[in-house]
Structure 1
């Protein structure tokens, strides 16, 4: 039985994988570029230096926003369900995880002990705040789609409530019930993920900041550091 199958990951910018499932678990290890995925009712991004885990049987599609390089690991279904996380996760690739992945590539058949160490190391890392819960209600889904299409739009809640044919209170209550976040928190997170996609594709920080509705580049960089711990250049500069 093959516990882990390791494949090089190479995709050109704008490559899209339509929604699909597979019996194995899948681990993305992104070295350059950026992968975004829609799965489990959420939108996820996997930037350089991160690992993205998709459990067996989870329907997912993916878009590659720049030329993307890295590794794909396919994990045996029974092993995935026994030892690996049961939900989609994005985590930082630590020096330990990097060393483990480099070591695993040397084997034609990965030893069980190494596979167990990798699963344990992954399980100990905290989630990165790189996902966005999508509302299921058709009206709220329309609001979410518009905020993703126009991230610089600062339309207020009262105006959105009128457009959607509900009171402000109903809008805020339903949105929070479906996503766990307020509309303002959701919009902030949407801007963060969209910014990462555009930066990965090569857009300048100044351009992205303005496109996301920020009045200054410094405010945009401060937001990035607040939520991700590092400025944009630390994620995407070639150096």
Structure 2
């Protein structure tokens, strides 16, 4: 049987899982709260209404933010490798995917396979969500990214970072763009959005989140948030 196990998830407090692997492919939904997932290649955040896929044997860590509820399903290696993406993928939970998941978790095992085939095809054709933060591979750039992940409001400018990582400003900006596809400014903006979403999911006020992200005015933070996500932060405070 392709589906090995499924279970409902409920976390009433923040939790973190250190880097680990499992032989099975894992699919999980987020109905409330938020989940962030990290691998060697990047970092994703999953707000409510998202569905995530982790292929077999992929080293990954995860953290739960807010009162999280969802569903986790584990699949055999063969089905995972033959039917699902070979990399992490986060999509919106569409009505079709939701209905198929309901069927998969309620029908007897003997009737699952046609539903799983349709589900895998639908999932693979869904566009990936954009709340992704790519990681560089150069050890000096990894140091920069790691420091910013730990302290997103660090106000060091490009010249300061170039000195700290032992590169010229020109080399730093060129290598970072080559390795991540983004400028350092774009990367930091995405990190700000991820952290903001996590803090909002944990119950922080919009004002507190804006200050935590280094904004001097709440209106500037709201404007940035609306520009990138098409809505205001207050929409996320009830997560």
TM over 0.5: yes
Tell me the equivalent position of 2:34: 34
Distance 1:228 1:114 in 2: 33
Equivalent residues of 1:129, 1:227 under 8 A apart: no
SS in 2 for 1:85: coil
Structure 2 unaligned spans of 5+: none
Q: How far apart, CA to CA, are the structure 2 residues paired with 1:136 and 1:50?
A: 28
Question: Is 1:11 the equivalent of 2:15?
Answer: no
TM-score by length of 1: 0.91
Change (3 A) 1:3 1:233: same
* Structure 1 residue runs without a partner (length 5+): none
Provide the rounded CA distance (Å) in 1 between the counterparts of 2:151 and 2:238: 26
The equivalent of 1:158 in structure 2 is 159
Q: Does 1:119 align with 2:115?
A: no
Q: Which secondary structure does the structure 2 equivalent of 1:128 belong to?
A: coil
Deviations 1:8-55 (A, max 9, x none): 112342222222211211111000111111114211111111111101
What's the offset of the Cα at 1:236? 4.5
Quote the Cα distance in structure 2 between the aligned partners of 1:95 and 1:235: 21
| Partner deviation per Cα, 1:173-222 (whole Å, 9 max, x = no partner) | 22122222111111111111111111111111111112112233333233
Asked if 2 retains the 8 angstrom alpha-carbon contact of 1:38 and 1:44, the reply is yes
CA separation in 2, counterparts of 1:178 and 1:74?
Answer: 32
Number of residues of Structure 1 aligned to a counterpart in Structure 2: 238
Q: For 1:152, what is the secondary structure of its paired residue?
A: coil
**Equivalent residue number for residue 95 of structure 1:** 95
More off after superposition, 108-117 vs 48-57? 108-117
Give the conservation status (yes or no) of the 8 Å contact 2:14–2:64: yes
Question: Which residue matches 1:217?
Answer: 218
Distance in 1 (alpha carbons) for counterparts of 2:219 and 2:95: 30
Other-structure match for 1:139: 140
Specify the SS of the correspondent of 1:33.
Answer: strand
The secondary structure found in structure 2 opposite 1:126 is: coil
In 1, distance between residues paired with 2:17 and 2:159? Answer: 38
**3-state SS of paired residue (2:174):** helix
CA contact (8 A) 1:16 1:64 kept: yes
2:200 corresponds to 1:196 = no
Please say if 1:179 is aligned against 2:180. Answer: yes
Aligned to 2:235: 234
Aligned residue for 1:66, secondary structure, equals: strand
RMSD over aligned Cα atoms: 1.9
**Which stretch shifts more, 26-35 or 171-180?**
171-180
